[in-house]
Structure 1
Amino acid sequence: MQLGELQSYLDQLFEAPRLRDYCPNGLQVEGRPEVGKVLCGVTASQALLDRAVAGGYDAIFVHHGYFWRGEDGRITGFRKRRLATLLKHDISLFAYHLPLDVHPELGNNAQLGRLMGWVAEGRFADQELGWIGRVSVPSEPAVQVARSLAARLGRDPLLFGDADRPVRRIAWCTGGAQGYFEQAILAGADLYVSGEVSEQTVHLARESGIPYIAAGHHATERYGARAVAHHLRGSLGLSADFIDIDNPV
């Protein structure tokens, strides 16, 4: 299909202009005008770009792209190498940050909830980025939720606070959303799950009585891009693959 057609489709699918974000969402680097093969991944790292070149892909779709607010805007070093790779091989780069987090079906939160068997019943926090609902096993202790995350994500999470607290209402927001912990508590959560943890997060978990799980930024955000690859194959008939570039955080 034409690059412009894919761009319009993805912008409408993810409602890109709806959210305030820290980077431009949508087509970040323009490549060849025809797209038949798309590589999906979490981050537009050099490793992912190299896989795209080796595999003959026309476009890349990621959650973490380029041109973040406040970063150094000079095209030097690793930024030059990344952009040179895309431009030399005429590969387009699509990036959807918050729009991929919040999408009701393909998004990172939706996909993590589906993976874990959590049933979403509401939203909270800024721009309704956080999700809240029911766990798959009512009243199971927080430590068992942590064990289930470890089994499904293939990574041991960090659990802070009351590990034995029964969990009826669970709140979650993938990636670096530890700043929404207090809002999750106010929303009525018995446990909050995100990807990262900050120093103050530990104290809030201990003092509030609501446990917190840091399950990994990359680990919690692998599933949106994978779902997009499946969607592009099924809905648009494109050749689309997901490649997970390992990241331990």
Structure 2
Amino acid sequence: MKLYFNYLSIHFRSQMQYRTSFLMLTAGQFLIPFTVFAGVYFMFERFGQLKGWTFFEVTLCYAIIHLAFSLSECFARGFDSFSGLVVRGDFDRLLVRPRGTVVQVLGSAFEFTRFGRLIQGGAVLAWSISQLPELWTFPKLLAVLLMVVNGVFVFTGIFILAATMCFWSVQGLELANVFTDGGREMAQYPLGIYEAWVRKFFTYIIPFASVSYLPLMLLLDKREGSTAELLLLPFGGALFLLPCLLIWQIGIRHYRSTGS
């Protein structure tokens, strides 16, 4: 972890060398998600509710998934841009260093301008919670925090799987964007509005349901459950991340340098 935080410090100081550019990009990242949020707002202005979910219940779902995605883009950017390391042959240098490849790839890139998205998501989260008094207990607020962490695990796992494909294809596969950008757009709404096969896929294969939908069903008293179940549900992302890391290790064993 000391090495990871050293990487973090180096990249942050590097990006702050161009402060005006950094601030403008951060401001842009803050403003861009409002177009998506406006779509949610006007939908509720027109229809009032979404299959029994109110505006603030959906915006809570929106905030959790966008916070998780922004954190993943910021701190797992190395896996998202991993194909560049393979194409340039830079991954070879990582293999001969006396540290794990996961930490080194994580530390190879950070995107701190995503703080703009974090601020926007945090503001929407605070606003939503302030309008939902049934969440004003410590276990439920802790569960919300765990849901965000769980989402980071899920998105990071998808980034790792996409990066692993580079060991065979060199370039990353655009198919991964279906599950990162597409997953973010889908999971910002309750999964209950989708077809049964979609709900099953994103519950048992890629567990977006454990990020927001299933915990929120308990948090908002839409179904009965214990506090223990509420606090355990958000750990589905960790169970998803473990096989992703295993597949990464398998990919490394099949790696052949590009010779760049």
Shared fold, TM over 0.5 = no
Say which structure, 1 or 2, has more relative contact order (CA 8 Å, 6+ apart): 2
The structure with more strand, counted as a fraction of residues: 1
Q: Which bin holds the TM-score, normalised by the shorter protein?
A: under 0.3
The structure with more helix, counted as a fraction of residues: 2
